[in-house]
Amino acid sequence: MTTRLNTTISLTDPADVLAAVPHMLGFHPADSFVVLTMHDLASTPRFGVTLRTDLPCPMRICEFAEYLLAGPLGRQHAEAVILVVVGEKPNIEACSDTCAGACQGPPPKKSTVDECDTGPPHAELIDVISDAFRRVGIATAHALWAPEIRAGAQWRCYSDPTCVGEIADPQGSAVAAAMAAAGSVTFGSRDELRALVAPESDETVERCAAKLDVLTEELADGYDPNKVTGDLRIVFAAVQRTANGAALTEDDLVRVLLAVSDTRVRDIALCTALGDTARAAEELWLTLVRKASDPELAEVAALLAFSAYLRGEGALAGVALERIEQIQPDHRFGYLLRQAIEAGIPPTDLAVIARDAAEEAQMMLEEDGAW
């Protein structure tokens, strides 16, 4: 879920909406169900969040509708939604033995539009979701289908067989231009986004791990009562240098990595997600995620996920959390952040945590004479 689009662009045609979806998500979705929330319909309608999930098991559609309303969409107070289905085949892989007896029968045999023109695939999904939304006062403004979102792909409406067309080039859309101007990148797929947070190389990770071991041993001698404030100075200085365009050496990066591996420092460093240096901090966390070995990865990946979500990059936050879950499933902060995102808690609400962290950082550094 994301709120990447923070500018005014008029989208009046279904083809324009479909071309905008990849940029609103941060990547081109495949085999996906996408919900775009709409607000302020009585004045100037605007989009809220954009939610993407895998297509559900065809036999668990009712359960899927309940999940959307109880979780991600429950807090959004949407007046209407635009529903978008991308893909043709039903997601049988999502089914399990527990599906038996759910609200839907076996998946339909027809999964594509043929000469009989039975309409777009996944019509049952749209019917059930639209009905569930209607019962809680959320109108379905439009329901669209496309096999994929690319230039020239055919799209169709679920409610009107004459409502058809071709998707314009998503890269040439007004939304794409706005995103490029804002410095946001739209990836070709979710796998490309995952590659962004993947390890740089085995050699780099091993070398940084060795340097970290040496540094840990060097700092292990003696008790330093000012360790937290010292580590905070190192972290904030690295963020500022990154913002100034100054290169950090690998040794500098390892020192930051060690500093934020202390959860006290990590929690206070959440405040870097606010202010003029927020993008620089996120760049630093991303660099460290690609270099960190498993024991130290979780804390810096949590910082990256938190920062990305506050900035509206829900997809980037998601893949950062995936890395935590792969190596440390019981990581408390990662788990809480995942729960917050899935519950649909807006980034503005989570920003309160960062502001509290900023106040704590200022108080600690003032006491140490370093603020």
The 3-class secondary structure across 164-230, one letter per residue, is EEECCCHHHCHHHHHHHHCCCCCECCHHHHHHHCCCCCHHHHHHHHHHHHHHHHHHCCCCCCCHHHH
Q: Which amino acid makes up residue 186?
A: T
What does the block give as tokens for 277? 């240096």
State CA 187 to chain mean position distance: 12
Find the mean pLDDT for residues 166-184: 78
Find the mean pLDDT for residues 185-212: 92
Find the mean pLDDT for residues 342-358: 83
> From CA 112, how far away is CA 96, in angstroms rounded?
23
- Average confidence score pLDDT of the chain: 86
Confidence of residue 5 (pLDDT cuts 50, 70, 90): low
> From CA 325, how far away is CA 339, in angstroms rounded?
13
Nearest CA-CA partner of 71 in 335, 339, 261: 339
- Among 37-41, 68-72, 184-188, top mean pLDDT goes to 37-41
Find the mean pLDDT for residues 262-283: 92
> From CA 98, how far away is CA 100, in angstroms rounded?
5
Confidence of residue 4 (pLDDT cuts 50, 70, 90): low
Specify the pTM: 0.79
In contact, 184 and 149? CB cutoff 8 Å: no
Confidence of residue 359 (pLDDT cuts 50, 70, 90): confident
Q: What percent of the chain has pLDDT over 70?
A: 87
> From CA 139, how far away is CA 132, in angstroms rounded?
10
| Higher-pLDDT residue of 104, 84 | 84
Q: Which amino acid makes up residue 324?
A: I
Q: What percent of the chain has pLDDT over 90?
A: 53
For 9, the 3-state DSSP assignment is: coil
Nearest CA-CA partner of 208 in 258, 248, 246: 258
For 270, the 3-state DSSP assignment is: helix
Q: What is the DSSP string of 138-173?
A: -EEEEEEEESS-STT-EEEESS-TT-EEE---GGGS
**Own/partner pairs, 329-333, CB within 8 angstroms, 24+ separation:** 331/298, 331/302, 333/263, 333/266, 333/267, 333/299, 333/302
Cα Rg, the chain, nearest whole Å: 23
For 258, the 3-state DSSP assignment is: helix
